[in-house]
Amino acid sequence: RGKLLEELGGKIYFRFHVARDTKPVAVKRAVDVAVDILSRSIPSPLWEVEVVTMKELGVSATGVSELVVPVDMYNSVNSSSTLLEYATRASTASWGDWVVHM
């Protein structure tokens, strides 16, 4: 599996987002489950989990980045698509990486 993923090139980013109506505890649990599964099945240098949110969730695990929208942008964030657009700019993902929206 690892060799196949290396041949694809880049890194796989699994991106979760916490919209205003989303339950943050449920997202945090989903992230924990994803990290557990990924760490057992794919070499860690080949993946990263991103969580884009309005407020810090305190997700702290190896391979997880929390992208918190700056307070001055709160009024402009009115949908999931705006959160994901912010994540695109704040992410460390680059050309050749893969992003999977969860």
What are 6's two structure tokens?
């290396």
pTM of the full structure: 0.83
Q: What is the mean pLDDT of residues 7-11?
A: 78
What are 9's two structure tokens?
């090139």
Domain ranges of the chain: 2-101
Q: What is the mean pLDDT of residues 65-72?
A: 84
* Amino acid identity at 80: S
How does 72-96 read in b/e, with b if 16+ C-beta sit within 10 Å?
A: eeeeebeebebbeebbeeebebeee
pLDDT at 68: 87
